[in-house]
Amino acid sequence: MTGQLAGTGKMIILPVDQGFEHGPARSFAPNPAGYDPHYHYQLAIDAGLNAYAAPLGALEAGADTFAGQIPTILKVNSANSLMSGTAGKNQAITATVDDALRLGCAAIGFTVYPGSDMALDMFEEISAMRQEAAAKGVATVIWSYPRGEAVSKDGETAIDIAAYAAHIAALLGAHIIKIKLSTDHLELGEAKKVYEDKKIAIASQAERVKHCMDASFAGRRLVVFSGGAAKGADAVYDDAIAIRDGGGNGSIIGRNSFQRSRNDALEMLQKLVDIYKGK
């Protein structure tokens, strides 16, 4: 109910946790203004987005300056690129629900990795934190990213895995679910039989979005789709059209916005708003 899309049932969120995940140069050197957390606050506000999501330090750096100007989501767990390849796919808890309250956040954000040998630990962590957040009036956003020992690289974006990941997040109590856009690949043999037998429509991106919405309590939970690595503007728009046409609730778009110049990012975000408004 904020920003340009207030009241439409659609949303665009700016997430900036990539510095933790990928390192500062990989994240911000393409647009050095992004080294400053205030830049992202202001970009999200000026673009009329629904929320800005970031880890503890980034929100603390601007929470006083931008208080009340845009809803914020405190990303309470993070991974990094300095771990060895043999480390289990997991994230460290780096903030608390009380931090979210102190900073005036509307929600906490938490990543789970379905398919990881560490997934059960992650499910238990967010279950406990979600219970505390609910008791204190803070919403929960779950990033549900298939990754780890049980899924192949293609499986990370397979439609059967993506829908499963969305459903897991819904069952864990997420108010907003963040997943990746999927491909028509089917990873799990037993699931593939059902998809083929029941002729589940997954040929187009819009059909796959609809299927993921079905898996999210038949659309009773909000689902936003991540933009992934930086790509051309037309590809970003095509993704948004498919999300809209499939009944998805919107985009959570980081590198594809903040790695562009401010003017280019504002132009692109305005076009995304227009797409979700049906223009």
Cα atoms in the Cβ-side hemisphere of radius 13 Å centred on 26: 10
User: 209 and 180 in contact (C-beta within 8 Å)?
Assistant: no
Q: Cα–Cα distances in Å, from 168 out to 21, 70, 99, 161, 172?
A: 23, 29, 26, 10, 6
Catalytic residue among 10, 75, 89, 178: 178
* Residues 253/236, Cβ–Cβ less than 8 Å: yes
**What DSSP assignment string belongs to 236-264?**
HHHHHHHHHHTT--EEE-SHHHHTS-HHH
The answer to whether 263 touches 23, Cβ cutoff 8 Å, is no
Pairing of strands 77-78, 92-93: antiparallel
Decide: 175 and 139 in contact? Cβ < 8 Å.
Answer: yes
Max CA pair span of the chain: 56
Rounded CA separation 105/98 (Å): 10
The two structure tokens encoding residue 100: 């979210």
Active site residue 180: no
> CA 42 to CA 52: how far, in whole Å?
10
3-class DSSP state of 235: helix
Which residues participate in catalysis according to the annotation? 178
